């Protein structure tokens, strides 16, 4: 039975333009056989979730290095719940202090990654925790 | 000199012994992935004429340095990139750094300012003063440089999309201090091409930004003759993940594009070219970086003299600032970043830089604390005054390894220039995602090399201390900064002549639509305390907004 590819939205909300991490993860996911919709920079939470709905994405990944992670993850999570995407994985990375990571977990955000985290571990995490649909 | 058959026998002897001795199971390529020989010898530089390829410092082709006396005549400028919170807080940091011995200023602006947004713009919420200083009007420039003699210290400003109107505010401030524009020395980054490629701070599409750049070049040639109008940058391209060869080639290609645009705008190469400057990264692979910087000088000199036919030798000079590689530094075990920065700084000096910024150990965690930035500055001072690196010009010149690497990097750059030409030039190549994809591929390959333990990052994928607590103080930007800055902005807007501001913006829009040099109307707007955001909006109404097609 052929499995549909895991589809991942990758986006950077806010003014932060440091997209090396987001792009490297995007490449790695494609190399690993997933489908990536790379939205790019200055995305709003609304636009990100709208794309996830349109694409029927399994995963949303946010990249935030500017310190604005709490507000952005919270807003995206709320919009996901409100749009029927409550069962999809919300993950991401950037510069996110450990104490904030715990707060994000309570919000329903998955694991988030930071500088030095292993690329292949990130890919595996997404593979294992994405919403999966077979058929 | 031994006869040829004996020499060849010694060479074969060594090769046999080398192969027979057993090698470590390691990757011996450069950090950029460049395969390296175990040894470089006279055979690797045979047939290369040193007179032509190296020459003499301060003489074509400048491989050995842009000045005849290099650091014996004048040390590189110690110029720490700094900016935090409000202009008052940043002014304090500038005085601290000058007091500790830095010899030039460098302004780091916050995210909203970098994008031409005021501190009270909706997108600025949560970002004001967090990654640099917030500047909204001339009043902020006045606070930023209060008590600092702008005619006695050079100032570099890292600003790109709104560079022209930030520069106008700087000029207006100098004017208010009674300083003639001809006395001002410094640099504006103002390099929009690398924004589309790597740093991602644009407002308009390429053509209007390029026009603003040539307007500024024309204005400065006449009115601010000691000012470096662009800092053509490779730093950010490298930070985005490129190899050393890509950094070199893409940066110089951007430079050629600016030269061509300026010529097309009718500017005289003898006037504008001496005021172009460059900005390179200094990464951890020591020798590759030194070779890269030497190759840059030789390539630029040849192109400016032979391709663009500049007659003024000052137009042939690739003068550059160096910053040590932020992306090489770790959040884990931050104290060891001091060592990385020291090696990178030494490479910058041995590479012949004119100006140097050394990163602080807390680079991956926060804006620099006082303790961290002082150590970073002392690193430069140790190199300058203790290590002997400044005593002899181009001390690694003649090293077989360095000369071969310099030659190889130059050859690869020329090949990349041909590729970019085939794509239709830099702007077309950007539109096709050429640079962006090359950079992401290099970044991905490096990340995979770390994952596969072919490359190492000490403290991260090797020699890690899991669970180790942070033991250094970190700078925090207080939430009150945004409130204070917004309140100050509101007061400034109330206190100014708003009719005059409106008139100034109308004149600006007319000049923008009418193709006239935008610096005079921008300067007038700055004098009237027009805000950064108001200026951006006025120009956006004429030029439109850019939306990138994201390539990876």
Q: Read off the tokens for A17.
A: 């333009």
Nearest CB among B111, B241, B457 relative to A20 is that of: B241
Residue B79 · residue B186 · CB < 8 Å: no
**Residue A2 domain-assigned?**
no
List the beta strands (DSSP E) in A4-121: 7-13, 35-43, 59-64, 89-94, 112-113
Q: Read off the tokens for B161.
A: 């999309």
Find chain A residues with C-beta within 8 A of B440's C-beta: 20, 23-24, 27
ipTM score for this prediction:
0.93
**Residue A44 domain-assigned?**
yes
Give the residue from chain A lying closest to B477, CA to CA: A67
As a three-state string, the secondary structure of B54-68 is CCCCCCCCCCCCCCC
pLDDT at A98: 84
Interfacial B residues in 330-369 facing A (CB < 8 Å): 330-332, 364-365
Nearest CB among B111, B124, B444 relative to A16 is that of: B111
Q: Does B294 touch chain A (CB under 8 A)?
A: no
**Residue A41 domain-assigned?**
yes
Residue B66 · residue B317 · CB < 8 Å: yes
Nearest CB among A39, A116, A120 relative to B457 is that of: A116
Containing H/E element for B120? none
Give bridge partners of residue B282 from the DSSP assignment.
B324
B432 CA to centre of own chain: 24
Nearest CB among A19, A39, A67 relative to B130 is that of: A67
pLDDT at B111: 94
CA of A12: how far to CAs of A65, A69, B61, B105, in Å?
9, 10, 44, 32
Q: What does the DSSP 8-state code read for residue B308?
A: S
How many Å apart are CA B406 and CA B392, to the nearest integer? 19
CA nearest B159: which of B239, B93, B213? B213
Mutant choice from B199, B281, B337, B447 vs A, greatest count of A C-beta within 10 A:
B447
Give bridge partners of residue B155 from the DSSP assignment.
B105, B186
Count other C-beta atoms under 10 Å from residue A82's C-beta.
10
Residue B527 · residue B137 · CB < 8 Å: no
Nearest CB among B112, B440, B457 relative to A27 is that of: B440
Q: How confident is the model at residue A2 (pLDDT cuts 50, 70, 90)?
A: low
How many Å apart are CA B435 and CA B242, to the nearest integer? 9
Give the residue from chain B lying closest to A25, CA to CA: B444
Give the residue from chain A lying closest to B458, CA to CA: A116
Nearest CB among A114, A115, A119 relative to B451 is that of: A119
**Residue B317 domain-assigned?**
yes
Find chain A residues with C-beta within 8 A of B130's C-beta: 66-67
B264 CA to centre of own chain: 25
**Residue A113 domain-assigned?**
yes
For residue A34, give the CATH number of its domain.
3.40.50.280
Judged by CB atoms closer than 8 Å, whether chains meet at A24 and B126 is answered as: no
* Burial class of residue B311 (count of CB atoms within 10 Å of its CB; 0-12, 13-18, 19+): exposed
pLDDT at A68: 81
Find chain A residues with C-beta within 8 A of B453's C-beta: none
For residue B346, give the CATH number of its domain.
3.20.20.240
- Kindly list the averaged pLDDT for each block of 10 residues, start to end, along chain B of length 552: 74 93 95 96 94 97 98 98 98 98 98 97 92 97 98 98 98 98 98 96 97 98 98 98 98 98 97 98 98 98 98 98 98 97 98 98 94 98 98 98 98 98 98 97 97 97 94 92 98 98 98 97 98 98 95 92
What is the Cα gyration radius of chain A?
A: 14
Residue B384 · residue B75 · CB < 8 Å: yes
Q: Residue A97 belongs to what domain range?
A: 7-129
How many Å apart are CA B480 and CA B90, to the nearest integer? 15
**Residue B112 domain-assigned?**
yes
Residue A22, CB-side half-sphere exposure with 13 Å CA sphere:
29
Sign, CA dihedral B362-B368-B372-B377, equals: positive
Q: B121 φ, ψ to 5°?
A: -70, 145
**Residue A15 domain-assigned?**
yes
pLDDT at A66: 82
* Burial class of residue A103 (count of CB atoms within 10 Å of its CB; 0-12, 13-18, 19+): middle
A→B interface, C-beta within 8 Å: 14-20, 23-24, 26-28, 38-42, 66-68, 71, 95, 114-116, 118-120
pLDDT at B284: 98
Q: Residue B180 belongs to what domain range?
A: 70-451
CA nearest B552: which of A21, A7, A16, A8? A21
**Residue A82 domain-assigned?**
yes
Q: Look over chain A and give the mean of its residue pLDDT values, rounded to a whole number.
A: 92
Find chain A residues with C-beta within 8 A of B111's C-beta: 15-16, 66
pLDDT at B7: 78
Q: Read off the tokens for B340.
A: 């990385």
CA nearest B472: which of B341, B303, B337, B381? B337
Find chain B residues with C-beta within 8 A of A41's C-beta: 200, 548, 550
**Residue A119 domain-assigned?**
yes
pLDDT at B370: 97
Q: Read off the tokens for B513.
A: 């639509």
Residue B294 · residue B351 · CB < 8 Å: yes
Q: Does B325 touch chain A (CB under 8 A)?
A: no
pTM: 0.96
Interfacial B residues in 257-276 facing A (CB < 8 Å): none
Question: What's the structural domain count of chain A?
Answer: 1
Residue B340, CB-side half-sphere exposure with 13 Å CA sphere:
26
What's the rounded mean pLDDT across residues A110-122? 94
Q: How confident is the model at residue A135 (pLDDT cuts 50, 70, 90)?
A: very low
Judged by CB atoms closer than 8 Å, whether chains meet at A24 and B440 is answered as: yes
Nearest CB among B117, B241, B444 relative to A28 is that of: B444
Place of tokens 């690869």: B412
Q: What does the DSSP 8-state code read for residue B334?
A: G
Residue A123 · residue A28 · CB < 8 Å: yes
pLDDT at A132: 57
Judged by CB atoms closer than 8 Å, whether chains meet at B451 and A20 is answered as: no
How many Å apart are CA B312 and CA B276, to the nearest integer? 13
Question: What's the structural domain count of chain B?
Answer: 1
Place of tokens 């003068």: B319
Judged by CB atoms closer than 8 Å, whether chains meet at B123 and A118 is answered as: no
**Residue B62 domain-assigned?**
no
List the beta strands (DSSP E) in B256-346: 276-282, 320-324
């Amino acid at each position: 039975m052929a499995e549909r590819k895991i589809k991942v939205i990758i986006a950077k909300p806010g003014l932060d333009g440091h997209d090396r991490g987001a792009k490297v993860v995007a490449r790695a996911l494609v190399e690993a056989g997933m489908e990536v919709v790379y939205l790019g920079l200055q995305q709003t939470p609304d636009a990100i979730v709208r794309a996830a709905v349109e694409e029927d994405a399994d995963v949303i990944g946010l990249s935030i290095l500017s310190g604005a992670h709490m507000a952005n993850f919270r807003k995206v999570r709320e919009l996901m719940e409100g749009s029927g995407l409550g069962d999809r994985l919300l993950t991401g990375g950037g510069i996110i202090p450990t104490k904030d990571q715990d707060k994000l977990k309570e919000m329903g955000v998955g694991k988030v990654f930071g500088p030095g985290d292993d690329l292949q571990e990130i890919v595996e995490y997404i593979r294992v925790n994405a919403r999966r649909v077979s058929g | 000199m031994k006869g040829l058959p004996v020499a060849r026998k010694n060479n074969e002897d060594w090769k046999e012994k080398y192969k027979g001795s057993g090698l470590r199971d390691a990757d011996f390529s450069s950090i950029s992935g460049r395969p390296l020989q175990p040894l470089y010898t006279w055979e690797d530089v045979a047939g290369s004429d040193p007179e032509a390829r190296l020459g003499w410092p301060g003489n074509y082709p400048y491989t050995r340095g842009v000045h005849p006396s290099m650091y014996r005549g004048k040390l590189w400028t110690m110029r720490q990139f700094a900016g935090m919170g409000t202009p008052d807080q940043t002014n304090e940091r500038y005085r601290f750094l000058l007091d500790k011995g830095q010899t030039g200023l460098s302004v780091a602006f916050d995210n909203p300012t970098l994008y031409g947004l005021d501190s009270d713009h909706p997108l600025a919420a949560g970002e004001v003063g967090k990654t640099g200083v917030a500047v909204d009007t001339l009043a902020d420039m006045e606070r930023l440089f209060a008590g600092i003699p702008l005619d006695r210290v050079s100032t570099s400003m890292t600003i790109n999309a709104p560079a022209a109107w930030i520069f106008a505010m700087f000029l207006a401030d100098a004017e208010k201090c009674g300083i003639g524009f001809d006395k001002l020395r410094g640099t504006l980054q103002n390099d929009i091409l690398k924004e589309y490629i790597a740093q991602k701070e644009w407002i308009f599409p390429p053509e209007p930004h390029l026009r603003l750049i040539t307007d500024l070049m024309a204005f400065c040639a006449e009115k601010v003759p000691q000012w470096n109008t662009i800092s053509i940058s490779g730093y950010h391209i490298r930070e985005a993940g490129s190899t050393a060869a890509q950094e070199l080639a893409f940066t110089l290609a951007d430079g050629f594009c600016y030269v061509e645009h300026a010529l097309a705008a009718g500017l005289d190469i003898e006037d504008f070219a001496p005021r172009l400057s460059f900005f390179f990264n200094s990464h951890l692979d020591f020798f590759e970086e030194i070779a890269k910087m030497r190759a840059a000088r030789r390539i630029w000199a040849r192109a400016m003299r032979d391709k663009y036919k500049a007659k003024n030798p000052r137009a042939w000079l690739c003068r550059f600032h160096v910053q040590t590689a932020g992306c090489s530094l770790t959040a884990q075990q931050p104290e060891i970043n001091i060592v990385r920065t020291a090696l990178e700084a030494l490479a910058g000096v041995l590479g012949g830089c004119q100006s140097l910024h050394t990163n602080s150990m807390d680079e991956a965690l926060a804006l620099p604390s006082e303790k961290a930035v002082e150590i970073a500055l002392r690193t430069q001072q140790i190199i300058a005054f203790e290590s002997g690196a400044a005593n002899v010009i181009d001390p690694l010149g003649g090293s077989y390894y360095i000369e071969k690497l310099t030659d190889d990097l130059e050859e690869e750059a020329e090949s990349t220039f041909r590729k970019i030409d085939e794509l239709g030039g830099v702007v077309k190549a950007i539109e096709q995602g050429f640079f962006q994809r090359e950079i992401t591929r290099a970044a991905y390959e490096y990340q995979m090399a770390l994952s596969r333990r072919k490359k190492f990052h000490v403290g991260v994928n090797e020699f890690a201390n899991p669970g180790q607590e942070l033991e250094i103080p970190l700078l925090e930007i207080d939430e009150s900064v945004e409130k204070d800055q917004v309140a100050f902005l509101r007061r400034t807007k109330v206190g100014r002549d708003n009719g005059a501001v409106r008139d100034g913006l109308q004149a600006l829009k007319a000049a923008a639509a009418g193709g006239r040099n935008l610096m005079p109307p921008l300067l007038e707007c700055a004098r009237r305390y027009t805000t950064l955001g108001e200026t951006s909006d006025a120009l956006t109404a004429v030029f439109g907004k850019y939306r990138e097609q994201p390539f990876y």
